[in-house]
Amino acid sequence: MIERTLAILKPDCVRKRLTGEVIARIEKAGFKILGMKKVKLTKETAGGFYAVHKGKPFYDGLVEFMSSGPCVPIALEKENAITDFRALIGATDPKEAVPGTVRKLFADNKGENIVHGSDSPENGKIEVAYFFSDRELVELG
């Protein structure tokens, strides 16, 4: 089934100048990029996006980190996008990630782990809509 997922190249990815490398890996894995932009999240915007985690011990640090510098949200589409993207990026903790995955290769730790990926088809739709209007998404055919 064709699914949409949201990738966010996080501030550590941008700071390390790895955006091109990570985007190339995403495209080589067969994902279609429907929309992409560089943004600097405010604490309010980051907090709204991660509202599902509000009250958890890592929430404040996550919001602080995600608003610490520019990031690159990317709307992606592919057959089985959620599962395939999560396999491409690897486990949240790079120490537990499979060799060759984005996080194993480039992430420093569980908190600064280079990239976000949606965890379900439903959240993929919600998360893409958080950053992109329908008119900003370009179908490639």
- How would you classify the pairing of strands 115-117 and 32-36? unpaired
- How would you classify the pairing of strands 32-36 and 72-79? antiparallel
Interhelix angle 19-28/81-89, nearest 10 degrees: 130
Interhelix angle 121-131/81-89, nearest 10 degrees: 80
Q: State the Cα–Cα distance between residues 36 and 23, nearest whole angstrom.
A: 10
Who contacts 54 (Cβ-Cβ below 8 Å, separation ≥6)? 47
Out of 84, 116, 128, 131, the active site residue is 116
Would you call 116 a catalytic residue per the annotation?
yes
Residues labelled as active-site residues? 116
